[in-house]
Amino acid sequence: MTTPPATPAPPQSRLTQNAPLAPLVWFKSGGKAAFLFEPAKVEDLANFLAKLDRSVPVLPLGLGSNLIVRDGGYPGVVVRLGKPFAKVEALDATTLRCGGGASGILVSSTARDAGIAGVEFLRSIPGTVGGFVRMNGGAYGRETADVLVECDVILRSGERRTLAASELNYTYRHSDLPDGAIVVSATFRGEPGEPAAIQAEMDRIAAAREESQPLRSKTGGSTFKNPPGHKAWQLVDEAGCRGLTRGDAQVSEKHTNFLLNLGNATSADIEALGEEVRTRVKETSGVTLEWEIQRVGVAS
- Cite the active site residues: 173, 222, 292
Q: Which of 151, 135, 152 is nearest to 143 (CA)?
A: 135
Distance CA 171, CA 84 (A): 30
Complete edge-to-edge strand list for the sheet that includes strand 259-261: 218-219, 259-261, 249-251, 245-246
- The one-character DSSP state at 194 is -
Contacts of 8 (CB under 8 A, 6+ apart): none
Helix, strand and coil in the chain, % to nearest 5: 30, 30, 45
Q: What number of other Cβ atoms are within 10 A of residue 280's Cβ?
A: 18
- CA 273 from centroid of its chain's CA atoms: 21
Query: What is the distance between the alpha carbons of residues 203 and 213, in angstroms, rounded to a whole number?
Result: 15
Classified as helix, coil or strand, 136 is coil
- Residue 10: what residue type? P
- Report the half-sphere exposure of 96 (CA within 13 A, side-chain side): 32
Alpha carbons 233 and 255: distance in angstroms, whole number = 7
Nearest residue to 148 (alpha-carbon basis) of 109, 187, 122, 100? 187
Classify residue 104 as exposed, middle or buried by CB count within 10 Å of its CB (0-12, 13-18, 19+).
buried
Identity of the residue numbered 170: Y
